[in-house]
Amino acid sequence: MDWKNLGFAYHPTRAWIRCEYRAGQWSTPQVVTDPHFKIHAAAISLQYGQACFEGLKAFQTQNQNAVLFRPDQNALRMQKSAERICMIAPPVQLFVECCKLAVFHNREFLPPYGTGASLYLRPTLIGTDPAIGLAPSQAFDFYVLVTPVGPYYKDGFFPVKALVVDHFDRAAPLGTGMAKVAGNYAAGLLPSLYAKKLGYPIALHTDPVHHTHIDEFGTSNFLGIDKSGAYHTPQSSSILPSITNDSLMQIAKDQGREVFRRPIAINELGNFTEVGACGTAAVITPIYSITRQDQVWTFGESQQAGAVLTQLYKALQGVQYGEQPDSHDWLVAC
């Protein structure tokens, strides 16, 4: 494979891992090589969207070890997502075991250290009972597929423009915004395409009630750095808690920065010297400008990420690739 030019796309791998929940028990993990599996045409996941998923990465460190980054936190987040839509998620231990097995059986697809690429894992939970009436499934399939990936955006850690999409809501205040359910992402497709059609690679959502506060980007959490170097990220009932964001906040604290998770009004954008979109896929995407109708806020230079975002990005990547000490025990050996 051309490891340095993978992009963020699906590449076939050797195997995936599957568990079934039937009659109140989880089965032993199975290694599956056929990329297709049978599902009933009336499965609740297909009829009513009873499905949630996670995203995390495995890395090859500079010592040639294979490691997962904070898989226990993904397991806990899946449990919260599953609870919101009446599903049974695998226990943390089973979740992590399946992730380890997925890496082990696809080790040849783990990108080598130094390429900047990683192995992306997609743990998924679906309701499989056939039904036409609206009711939660009692049977579930949990599976973990993997694929090697490069940067989420083709230019990698490089500033992009964002567009505020006030006329689209990603999730309702008391809805499923804090859960990583499939329907949230289907709802985000149209605003994302709308922004891209106008020349903006990324869309920014405001709060779904008054559209006066920042919620999150279409693919990731919002973070802003003020003139003092403090780290700010929104607090809202309709955004997904990001494990990457949580990790970056801890790193910011380790660097001696103040960290604030709070409601952030859209008119506060002028107080930030740097803005980023953070998530598993891209880690941090620097945002050069944010446009809302006729108003434009700019942050730093259009050709180079700001100093603080660069420090945070390198620090987190340094831990993930084993270049810096894992002082918070985030890495799990495969």
The values of phi and psi at residue 304, to 5°, are -155, 135
Q: What is the spatial distance between Cα 322 and Cα 187, in angstroms, rounded to a whole number?
A: 37
239: closest CA among 271, 204, 196, 275?
A: 204
- CA dihedral of 246, 203, 11, 181, whole degrees rounded to 10: 60
CB atoms within 10 A of CB 6: 20
Q: What is the DSSP string of 120-179?
A: EEEEEEEE--B-SSS---S-EEEEEEEEEE--SSTT-S--EEEEE-TT--SS-TTTTTTS
Query: Would you report the helix, strand and coil content of the chain in percent, each value rounded to 5?
Result: 25, 30, 45
The continuous run of DSSP H or E covering 17 comes out as: strand 16-22
Of 90, 89, 109, whose CA–CA distance to 15 is shortest?
A: 109
For 319-323, the CB contacts below 8 A with 24+ separation are: 320/57, 320/59, 320/67, 320/69, 320/118, 321/59, 321/60, 321/61, 321/62, 321/113, 322/59, 322/61, 322/62, 322/63, 322/65, 322/67, 322/113, 323/61, 323/62
* Helix boundaries (H) for the chain: 44-48, 71-84, 92-104, 182-197, 243-254, 307-320
Select which of 57, 100, 161, 180 is catalytic: 180
The C-alpha atoms of residue 204 and residue 206 are separated, in whole angstroms, by 7
Whether the CB-CB separation of 243 and 220 falls below 8 Å is answered with no
Active site residue 180: yes
The residues annotated as belonging to the active site are 180
